[in-house]
A and B are shown apart, each in its own frame.
Chain A
Amino acid sequence: MKKNFALIYFILLIITGCSYNFSSDNYLDIEKPSTGNNSIIIDDFNNSDIINTERLMTYSLSGPSNPYQLESKIYLNDEQIGAAWDNGTGSFKLFPSRYEDGIHKLRFEHSFFSGSGSLADQLGQEVLTKKEVFEFIVQRKTTQPPTITEAKIENGSITIKWNEINGDDFENAYLSAKYKTSETRTPLTREALNSREFIDKNTVLFTGNSNTPFFDYYSKVTYSILLTNEYTENYGVTKEIVYDPEWVVPKIAFKDFESYNLIWPQHPMYANFENFEIVSGYESLNGSSQGGEQTINYPYVFGGKHGANIRPIDINRLHSFYSFREIELDEDSFGFFEFDDLHSNGIVYNTSNEKFYTLVSGNYVSASEGYELYIYEYSKNMEFLKKSFITNSPRLKGYLPIQIDPSTQNFYIDTANNSYLIDKNDFSILKQAIGNNENGIRKILRGNIVITNTGWFPTHTTIENIETNSLLYSGDSIGSTLSEGGTYIFISDENERAIYKIDGNQLSKILDLDGDEYTYQLIVHDNTLMYSSGGEFSVIDLNTMNKKSFDFGTYQKSMQFDPISNKLLLINSGGAGIFYLNSDKLENFIYEDDDGSGGTYFMYLQNGRLFHSKGIYIDNF
């Protein structure tokens, strides 16, 4: 048995064999490193400090550490910011102007090798990260500036009002007036701020012409309360005032044709400056900011455009510029009505009912029929009353196609070939003399007399009394002009040129004219006979047959007599004249005759009212 035990023992020994029993590891008792004794030191900074300006921050790691730093990360409000680490000192920049006001978090994650000497450290695998959070406060904004509640023009200045201020986080307060490129800041004391009202006695809004440099620099002013501190400028809610070009519109009041009265209005901000400089015609004047009127010694062109350059002067601003304005017509001295746009041709005054009438070309009908012809009726104040259809007409006579019969106040309408006498009340055709364009027959009707011109070179002319059906005169190559009432006639033939009085079927010569005289218009009023002839016109007293002649231009378009004012209106190319029959005085003036589209303007003198076919008139002329 013993041997069997021994046998088993041996076998076990052999099978298990032996292993060398090594000594235990050479364990070094190194303390496990931690960042417990480390801290981040930011130079010149304590937690929750206020930082309002850009600042370079430097920091270091205190406590045990290895000089070999791995990385230093800094997070501002959880967003990594740039940081540098060099030679034991880190640095980063804060830009408070970019941050909102309030508390901001700075989180440091500074990693460094432990330096513990442990195996991991020797391998460079023992990295410690010191995490530390700091807070700093940005407080740059001021108190919210009060809202401007009102900016209005008052007593020639601008009154600005604002809400009460809440808070006092600011250093300076201003009332800011911003223009397009500039700003005026008026310091406000605490008292002034609390008064919540300021009167701006400085701002003058004005706009120049758009082709002028800086023209709109002072077209608008925007007011706000501005609160500032050393970091920020905080503007409140604004109110603005915008220049209205209608504020400063110069006007012309009619004076005479040698000069005009320029009227300028009060500028809404009149109390903030004293004078305008106004240039019109060749004159420059200083006019009160409160408005005024001054005579400009520069010819007034009736119906023409007049301009003025205006600017406020002696105001405290960098840029000064004129505003050129077309001068409008003053309503007190000018009247207005629609004329040219209606294709009106001539205007007459009916003394019996004190109404004005214009002859108007209406709708196109056909080539042979031409246009519809209407008579428009106006009140004495040129208020449109009604229109009445007369007839269709291919072409009206060039000048004064509507005339009034001096004795009956009925109307004569002359077209190129025809003449009509129209009833002043119902506008019916009372009489007519109808020519024929194709046969070259042109007829003129005045009173009972009809002149018929037939053909060309030579023209055959007959003069008939259609009442008595008698031929008064006939012949070739003769000229003839009837007076308005058909009571006088001018006849020229190869032998003589003379004016005759028509008496029934008889012609009685009353005046021989010179060989170079010819008249297209013959006007008789009471005992005065007037006729125009080339470059002159003549006035004859029929009682004494005393004749006075006056030069007027070279070619006359028309001569109109106004029995009310007892004046003659003479028109030639580009010029006009008024002849005062009472004083034999001739006054020349200029009117605007170019309508800008190839046509011409015309003038009419009726009932002491001088009309320009633009639709303007002057009374008491």
Chain B
Amino acid sequence: MKYIYSLIFIVISALNIYAQKIEVFTDFNLGLISHQPLKTFHEGLAEEIPFNNVKTTDNYKFNYGFSVGFKVNRIKTSFFYQNKVTGAKSSTADFSGYIRLTDELKASTFGAIYEFDIQEFNKGSLSFGVKGLITSSELIVKSESEISNSIENSILNFKSIDFGTGAILIYRYPIKTITLRAILGADFYLGGKLKFEEIKDAHLLDSKGNKVTTGWSGLNLGVGISIP
């Protein structure tokens, strides 16, 4: 939490310093075509559940989250914090109980976007940006079961730091005092190791012995608002 408080402090300070020269924004983000390594990993895990009728209902189909940030107009650069989550789930349940295997991937990303204005429209404008990203991810692999009053739980936590870059198109459409934003982008990450929290130097490997990475690379869609 500490870093969150630090962040809040920075943001507030920045807002105050650049009160008249910045644009504050927030977006809702949806990510697609990502997390292939984790998909494979989860499928492998799900297959090992020794029960019939285990169904994988979620498997990193998309990720979603939000971004908050601000754009310093003078330098055409936005700074933002992005929080995204995705996950996978395999389960089966009946009157006698349930078995659940869930992977939840949470990421906090700090990034910066340098924008180029491409075109002005009658109403709104389109810009192109280049991103630099640093993402802290936490993978929580949780298995839970309760069958005939027998309860079993286990949670494994992994963490990784990933660095990435990306390209982004931002369409802005002002309405009265706010501006609507629509975003289309693509991220490219160099995946880091998913380190096991409890054991030093241990990290997640797939069945072939390759490291499993978070796989945040993918398409991004987003809508949001900004306040100039």
Contact = CB atoms under 8 A, between A and B. Distances in A.
A56 interface: no
Contacts of A126: 96, 148
B98 A25 contact: yes
A122 to B, nearest CB: 5
Nearest to B147: A119
B181 to A, nearest CB: 14
Interface stretch (A12-20, A131-139, A451-459): A12-20
Contact of A125 (B53, B147, B227): B147
B52 interface: yes
Given A18-B64, A125-B148, A119 B92 contact: yes
A2 interface: yes
B79 interface: no
A15 B68 CA distance: 12
B91 interface: yes
A543 B8 CA distance: 186
User: Looking at chain A, what size class is its interface with the partner chain?
Assistant: 20 to 34
Contacts of A25: 91-93, 98, 100
A13 B26 contact: yes
A119 B92 CA distance: 8
A27 B94 contact: yes
Interface string A84-98: 000000000000000
Interface in B132-170: 145, 147-148, 150
Contacts of B97: 118-120
Interface centre among B54, B83, B148 (most CB of A within 10 A): B148
A598 B33 CA distance: 140
B58 A3 contact: no
A99 interface: no
Interface stretch (B102-110, B185-193, B201-209): B102-110
B52 A122 contact: yes
B118 interface: no
Interface centre among A3, A18, A119, A122 (most CB of B within 10 A): A119
Contact of B53 (A9, A10, A26, A32): A26
B92 to A, nearest CB: 5
A119 B26 CA distance: 45
Nearest to A27: B93
Interface in B1-54: 4, 7-8, 11-12, 15, 19, 24, 26, 50-54
A22 interface: yes
Contacts of A30: 94-95
Interface centre among B19, B66, B81, B93 (most CB of A within 10 A): B93
A6 B89 CA distance: 35
Contacts of B93: 25-28, 119
Contacts of B86: 20
Contact of B24 (A3, A20, A23, A123): A3
Contacts of B183: none
Interface string B50-84: 11111101100000111010000000000001011
Contacts of A13: 26, 66, 68, 83
B4 A14 contact: yes
Interface residues of B, number: 50
Nearest to A5: B227
Contacts of A9: 26
B180 to A, nearest CB: 15
B85 interface: yes
Nearest to A123: B147
Nearest to B86: A20
B150 A125 contact: yes
A26 B24 contact: no
Contacts of B66: 13, 18
B119 interface: no
Contact of A23 (B58, B98, B105, B148): B58
B94 A118 contact: yes
B57 A23 contact: yes
Contact of B89 (A23, A28, A32, A123): A23
Nearest to A4: B15
Contacts of A440: none
Contact of A2 (B92, B148, B177): B177
Contacts of B212: none
Contact of B51 (A22, A122, A125): A122
Interface string A117-154: 11111110110000000000000000000000000000
A7 interface: yes
Given A28-B53, A118-B96, A18 B106 contact: yes
Contacts of A2: 177, 227
Nearest to A30: B94
B87 interface: yes
B14 to A, nearest CB: 11
B99 interface: yes
A14 B68 contact: yes
A466 interface: no
Interface string B198-223: 00000000000000000000000000
Given A120-B147, A125-B148, A20 B51 contact: no
A126 B94 CA distance: 13
Contact of A11 (B8, B19, B84, B108): B8
A117 B51 CA distance: 10
A505 B83 CA distance: 181
Given A14-B4, A119-B97, A19 B104 contact: yes
A118 B64 CA distance: 35
Contact of B95 (A17, A118, A122): A118
Interface string A262-286: 0000000000000000000000000
A32 B95 CA distance: 7
B94 to A, nearest CB: 5
Given A30-B94, A119-B97, A19 B148 contact: no
A9 B147 CA distance: 42
A19 B85 contact: yes
Contact of A119 (B51, B55, B64): B51
Contacts of B65: 18
Nearest to A114: B96
A7 B12 contact: yes
A11 to B, nearest CB: 6
Contacts of B98: 25, 27, 119
Contact of B15 (A7, A17, A27, A122): A7
Interface centre among B89, B92, B94, B95 (most CB of A within 10 A): B94
Given A20-B86, A26-B93, A28-B93, A10 B11 contact: yes
Given A20-B104, A126-B96, 16 more contacts: A6-B24, A10-B11, A11-B8, A19-B106, A20-B87, A23-B57, A25-B100, A26-B91, A27-B94, A28-B93, A28-B94, A119-B93, A119-B147, A120-B96, A123-B147, A125-B150
25 contacts: A3-B24, A6-B26, A10-B24, A13-B66, A13-B68, A14-B68, A18-B85, A19-B104, A20-B58, A20-B85, A20-B105, A20-B106, A22-B104, A25-B100, A26-B53, A26-B90, A26-B92, A26-B93, A27-B98, A117-B52, A118-B95, A118-B96, A120-B148, A123-B147, A126-B148
Interface of A: 2-3, 6-7, 9-11, 13-15, 17-20, 22-30, 32, 117-123, 125-126
Q: Which 6 A-B pairs have the closest CB atoms?
A: A120-B96, A20-B87, A26-B55, A20-B85, A25-B93, A118-B96
